[in-house]
Amino acid sequence: MPRWTSTLGGEKISTFQKIGIIGLGYVGLPTAIAFYKQGFNVVGIDISKDVIENLEQGKSPLIDNSENLVIPRNSDTWKVSDNFEMVSDCDVILITVPTPVNSDKTPDLTYVVSATRSVMENIETGRNVILVLESTVYPGVTREVLGKVRSEIGLIEGRDVTLAYCPERVNPGTEMGVGNVARVIGCDDEKLGNELAEMYSLTTSEQSKYVGKMEVAEASKLIENLQRDIDIALANELAIVLPRIGVDVEQVLDAAETKWNFHRHSPGIGVGGHCIPVDPYFYISIADSVGHESMLSKSAREVNEMMPKLASIQIAEIVEGESGEKRVLVLGYSYKPELGDIRETPVHDLVIGLLEGGFEVLIWDPLVDSDDLPKEAIIVDNPYDCGELGAVVLATAHEEVINLEWGRLGKIIDDPIIYDGRRVMDRGHLESEGWKYFGIGLPKEECV
Ligand code: SAJ
């Protein structure tokens, strides 16, 4: 391959020049733009004509555009298309398509297989194109699943294509984007693995490291998310147990955090998104396949998945002990703050729990499209115009939720009660505005 210097100056070089990115979502699009900005010749492919049309008009098709992406115009070094033939002469092709789970929680690899097949059917043989999977999968997928497609199409590893794995680690809705997260690269060919690490290093301020064979990088990503799910589950279990001995979980976490290696996580009404609640099931299926049931990850999932229902029961008990008004305003519906993404949102189960408890549920989320909100609930455009309420529930800690005019809202409700499902509100301030404050992990006797 021609050795080539990035046009943005500096001594950095890359073995590769033309990069294809398959899947222009919240990972693929920022990644494509990052390589484009470093002077690479980029071809972005997406099967959605809407996505391509938006991009050709210079518009971001992403729900969350917190990275304020500036979409390049079509040029010699930036093209987007739904035609896989466009990647036929790429040096490196990155696959950044979703890996959801099936209803039985087994990994759904249909997008990965479809994208791989479409790429492999269009690459020129003999150019040893590097095909890098970035989607979150379990160890073995790149080698076995992508390798199977390669064999079916008749391509030869090392002559026509070389497989590699580099997990995406962006954290949507936060400042952790492609430009400032570390990367790990797994590839059987160490030389190519190091050249990929060099290529990725041009796009991030953090380290970019070759870590060994593909399974090493696949397992790294998986256990990163598995650990996060387990850590959050501990915080959630503490939010169940500690209040029952009269102790506020947040005070205990404040105290524990003074220890140098205590890693704090926040209890809440549940764990959502397309990674943390999903990836542990990839690990569970591996553990089962090798004959060792993973009690730890299964228990963590059980704890996190019970939180929405548990919160709905707590809210019902609070309301029945106070005004008895069975109307609740739920603030926030997306799975995490500053995003309009509702995938696996725990607020869905919270709403269902309240409805099953006989409540009328109103929802206000300024970031979520009203079409994405549950039809069983009453969608609210103005949180100050909801009529009488038995409680207001903070479910997703959007800035717009936290910064509501709580004094004004409290005056509209006869007996203003808040249930802080993320423990993010200033209790003293709310109580000074006439609110009764309840929250996840707070002993009820401390609330009156
Ligand atoms: N959550 C808690 N308590 C916490 C942290 C999170 O209840 O202490 C909840 C959030 O409310 C949300 C869910 O967990 O419902 C997931 O939150 P998250 O901050 O982990 O956000 P994600 O799902 O966007 O995770 C992203 C992922 N990055 C991607 O590749 C998409 C994930 O792989 C990262 O591990 C994670 O960021 C991270 O480390 O921040």
Does ligand 1 have an atom closer than 6 angstroms to the CB of 177? Answer: no
* Residue in 276, 343, 344, 423 to alter for ligand 1 test, most ligand atoms within 8 A of Cβ: 276
* Atom number in ligand 1 closest to CA 337: 11
Lowest mean pLDDT among 11-20, 187-196, 359-368, 439-448: 11-20
Quote the pLDDT of residue 171: 79
CA gap 194, 210 in Å, rounded? 6
* Residue in 27, 63, 249, 275 to alter for ligand 1 test, most ligand atoms within 8 A of Cβ: 275
- Residue of higher predicted confidence among 424 and 12: 424
* Atom number in ligand 1 closest to CA 167: 30
Say if residues 62 and 78 touch (Cβ distance below 8 Å): no
Does ligand 1 have an atom closer than 6 angstroms to the CB of 79? Answer: no
- Residue of higher predicted confidence among 68 and 287: 287
* Atom number in ligand 1 closest to CA 231: 8
Asked if pLDDT for residue 3 goes beyond 50, the answer is no
Taking the CA atoms of residue 134, residue 137, residue 140 and residue 143 in that order, the dihedral angle to the nearest 10 degrees is -30
**Percent of the chain, pLDDT > 70?**
95
- pLDDT per residue as tens digits for the range 303-345: 999 999 999 999 999 999 998 899 999 999 999 999 999 999 9
- pLDDT per residue as tens digits for the range 21-69: 999 998 999 999 999 998 899 999 999 999 999 999 999 888 666 567 8
Question: What is the average pLDDT across 381-405?
Answer: 97
- 413 Cα: distance to centroid of ligand 1 (angstroms): 34
* Residue in 138, 229, 336, 341 to alter for ligand 1 test, most ligand atoms within 8 A of Cβ: 336
User: Band of the pLDDT at 16, cuts 50, 70, 90?
Assistant: confident
- pLDDT per residue as tens digits for the range 131-182: 999 998 889 999 999 999 999 999 999 999 999 999 998 877 777 788 889 9
Instruction: Report, as residue numbers or ranges, the catalytic residues.
Output: 275
Does ligand 1 have an atom closer than 6 angstroms to the CB of 422? Answer: no
> For the residues of 83-96, what is the DSSP string, one character each?
-GGGGTT-SEEEE-
* Residue in 62, 63, 166, 228 to alter for ligand 1 test, most ligand atoms within 8 A of Cβ: 228
C-alpha 399 chain-centroid distance? 19
Does ligand 1 have an atom closer than 6 angstroms to the CB of 332? Answer: no
C-alpha 312 chain-centroid distance? 24
Say if residues 312 and 318 touch (Cβ distance below 8 Å): no
Asked if pLDDT for residue 212 goes beyond 80, the answer is yes
Does ligand 1 have an atom closer than 6 angstroms to the CB of 228? Answer: yes
SS3 123: coil
Question: What is the average pLDDT across 250-264?
Answer: 97
Cβ-based neighbours of 132, under 8 Å, separated by 6 or more: 92, 93, 94, 95, 164, 165, 166, 185, 196
- 438 Cα: distance to centroid of ligand 1 (angstroms): 24
Specify the length of the chain in residues: 448
Does ligand 1 have an atom closer than 6 angstroms to the CB of 276? Answer: yes
CA gap 275, 24 in Å, rounded? 18
Quote the pLDDT of residue 12: 54
Quote the pLDDT of residue 11: 52
* Atom number in ligand 1 closest to CA 279: 33
Quote the pLDDT of residue 448: 61
C-alpha 147 chain-centroid distance? 27
User: Band of the pLDDT at 1, cuts 50, 70, 90?
Assistant: very low
Quote the pLDDT of residue 2: 39
Does ligand 1 have an atom closer than 6 angstroms to the CB of 446? Answer: no
Instruction: From residue 310, give the alpha-carbon distance in Å to each of 86, 236, 264, 293, 318.
Output: 51, 11, 22, 26, 12
* Atom number in ligand 1 closest to CA 270: 7
Quote the pLDDT of residue 100: 86
What type of residue sits at position 172?
A: P
What type of residue sits at position 252?
A: V
Quote the pLDDT of residue 4: 52
Phi, psi of 101 (to 5 degrees): -115, 155
Q: Is the pTM of this model over 0.95?
A: no
Both tokens of 315, joined, read 């809210």
- For ligand 1, atom 26, name the residue with the nearest CA: 171
Mean pLDDT of the chain: 93
- 11 Cα: distance to centroid of ligand 1 (angstroms): 36
- 46 Cα: distance to centroid of ligand 1 (angstroms): 25
Say if residues 129 and 91 touch (Cβ distance below 8 Å): yes
